[in-house]
């Protein structure tokens, strides 16, 4: 399908994305999600054909990372630049936040000529998504009171509950690997805990995967050692999604059993829900000694499950001994990035380039979230961009 046909197809979707923040995938309709995927593919197609999709002559995209990042940070910068916005990092240590400036005030002060705010806040369970909504409420007030000429759109770049830019990029990767969204129906995807020599990894990636993939008729297998639960409400939602979409949902406490006949595997470490609850309280109270003790306890417990490594033996249990391996990266690679980790070096190397392709969809997903937020009829604007045919490189 050429770009013109893809744009026409995207215009037939009934969406509610205009001027709406993208905070959780499960707040969006099926049509909304499909529109994001379609627009992302169109923008990628334009890039591949050397067509500039810039729709902004000026404007800021604020990058607010309250935790470390490589892929998502650069994906947000790439997406913003692709549409014509300049990225400005909000470094909270260099701002007046350190002097007691409120969230409400900061949100308005950074937004006078801004169009988007991307936020990563995954450190505190129960707080990250809440913080994003507090920023949103402040922006609503600023716009309503004519403090702000426009209301910037917010993109969730990872919170305590969900990592929507990651899971949507993963979904687009699966769509391309298997042919279409319909071709994903009945496919078995294993979202599995895997051993890591670190603790405190967020729950948002596994939660995002089970919450999103369960909406497309996939057979979800959630695997983890007993005690490594996710947020219960999100697990229940994924079960309901699977029932409604014609898929299945199962929880397993054996990595080997879970991997049998899998089409797709996603071995990724995370901290248990109850541990993240404890960690959040310790972080809030700046309890350094308490955090050290909790870390030692968790690392010792993790060490009991070093056999939860995705390796050649586990791979052989999957469908055709060649299930698609996925990871949000960076993976803990045994013998490479750590002594013992989530995945063996030989298996990771076999799928390494495909994990890079998986990550490569993220800039386009973020750009699509921004694009659909700003234009009520995205397909009309995309048609104009195609007709303009301005080259990104060349004269």
Tens of pLDDT, residue by residue over 228-237, are 999 999 999 9
Say if residue 353 is in the same domain as residue 372.
Answer: no
Distance CA 276, CA 268 (A): 16
Distance CA 213, CA 241 (A): 9
Say if residue 313 is in the same domain as residue 176.
Answer: yes
267-321 per-position pLDDT tens digit: 999 999 999 999 999 988 999 999 999 999 999 999 999 999 999 999 999 999 9
The rounded percent of the chain whose pLDDT value lies above 90 is 94
Say if residue 12 is in the same domain as residue 149.
Answer: yes
* Mean per-residue pLDDT of the chain: 96
pLDDT of res. 395: 62
Say if residue 334 is in the same domain as residue 198.
Answer: yes
Say if residue 104 is in the same domain as residue 142.
Answer: yes
> Is residue 93 very low, low, confident or very high in pLDDT (cuts 50, 70, 90)?
confident
Closest CA to 202 of 238, 162, 253, 164: 162
- Contact between 84 and 55 under an 8 Å Cβ cutoff? The reply is yes
pLDDT at 99 over 80: no
Say if residue 134 is in the same domain as residue 178.
Answer: no
Per-residue tokens: 326: 């996925």
Say if residue 152 is in the same domain as residue 179.
Answer: no
Range of the domain at 144: 3-162+362-388
- Contact between 22 and 154 under an 8 Å Cβ cutoff? The reply is yes
- Contact between 87 and 117 under an 8 Å Cβ cutoff? The reply is no
Distance CA 374, CA 383 (A): 16
Say if residue 117 is in the same domain as residue 192.
Answer: no
Tell me whether residue 200 is in a domain: yes
Tell me whether residue 256 is in a domain: yes
SS3 content of the chain, % helix, strand, coil (to 5): 50, 15, 35
The number of folded domains in the chain is 2
Tell me whether residue 215 is in a domain: yes
CB under 8 Å to 264, separation ≥6 — which residues? 174, 187, 188, 189, 190, 323, 324, 326
* Rg, the chain, Cα only: 21
At residue 268, φ and ψ (nearest 5 deg) are -150, 130
> Is residue 199 very low, low, confident or very high in pLDDT (cuts 50, 70, 90)?
confident
Per-residue tokens: 337: 């990035």
Angle of CA points 147, 149, 154, to nearest 5°: 95
Closest CA to 193 of 241, 258, 249: 258
Say if residue 322 is in the same domain as residue 377.
Answer: no
356 half-sphere exposure, CB direction, 13 A CA radius: 6
CB under 8 Å to 48, separation ≥6 — which residues? none
Tell me whether residue 394 is in a domain: no
147: domain CATH number is 3.40.50.1370
Tell me whether residue 253 is in a domain: yes
Residue with tokens 């056999």: 307
Say if residue 247 is in the same domain as residue 337.
Answer: yes
Q: Is 63 helix (H, G, I), strand (E, B) or coil?
A: strand
Tell me whether residue 144 is in a domain: yes
Other C-beta atoms lying within 10 Å of the C-beta of residue 221: 25
Say if residue 120 is in the same domain as residue 71.
Answer: yes
Tell me whether residue 94 is in a domain: yes
Tell me whether residue 393 is in a domain: no
The region of weakest confidence among 64-68, 268-272, 312-316, 322-326 is 64-68
Say if residue 102 is in the same domain as residue 218.
Answer: no
């Amino acid at each position: 399908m050429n770009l013109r046909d893809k744009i026409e197809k995207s215009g037939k979707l009934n969406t509610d994305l205009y001027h709406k923040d993208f905070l959780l995938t499960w707040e969006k309709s099926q049509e909304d999600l499909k529109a994001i995927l379609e627009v992302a593919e169109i923008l990628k197609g334009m890039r591949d054909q050397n067509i500039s999709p810039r729709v902004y002559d000026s404007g800021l995209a604020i990058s607010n990372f309250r935790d470390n990042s490589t892929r998502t940070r650069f994906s947000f910068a790439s997406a913003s630049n692709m549409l014509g916005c300049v990225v400005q990092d909000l470094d909270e240590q260099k701002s007046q936040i350190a002097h007691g400036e409120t969230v409400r005030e900061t949100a308005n002060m950074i937004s006078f000529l801004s169009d988007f705010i991307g936020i990563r806040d995954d450190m505190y369970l129960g707080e990250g998504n809440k913080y994003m909504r507090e920023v949103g409420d402040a922006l609503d007030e600023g716009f309503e009171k004519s403090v702000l000429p426009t209301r910037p759109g917010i993109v969730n770049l990872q919170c305590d509950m969900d990592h929507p830019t990651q899971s949507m990029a993963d979904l687009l990767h699966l769509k391309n690997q298997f042919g279409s969204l319909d071709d994903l129906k009945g496919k078995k995807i294993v979202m599995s805990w895997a051993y890591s020599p670190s603790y405190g990894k967020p729950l948002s990636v596994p939660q995002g995967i089970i919450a999103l993939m369960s909406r497309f008729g996939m057979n979800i297998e959630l695997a983890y050692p007993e005690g490594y639960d996710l947020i219960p409400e999100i697990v229940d939602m994924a079960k309901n999604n699977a029932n409604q979409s014609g898929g299945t949902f199962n929880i397993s406490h054996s990595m080997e059993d879970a991997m049998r006949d899998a089409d797709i595997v996603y071995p990724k470490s995370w901290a248990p829900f109850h541990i993240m609850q404890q960690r959040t309280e310790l972080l809030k109270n700046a309890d350094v000694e308490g955090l050290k003790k909790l870390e030692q306890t968790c690392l010792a417990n993790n060490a009991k499950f070093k056999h939860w490594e995705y390796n050649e033996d586990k791979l052989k249990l999957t469908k055709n001994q060649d299930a698609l391996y996925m990871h949000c990266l960076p993976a803990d690679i045994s013998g490479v990035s750590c002594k013992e980790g989530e995945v063996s070096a030989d298996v990771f190397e076999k799928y390494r380039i495909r994990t890079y392709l998986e990550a490569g969809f993220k800039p386009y997903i973020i750009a699509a979230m921004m694009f659909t937020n700003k234009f009520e009829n995205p397909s009309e604007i995309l048609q104009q961009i195609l007709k303009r045919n301005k080259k990104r490189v060349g004269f």
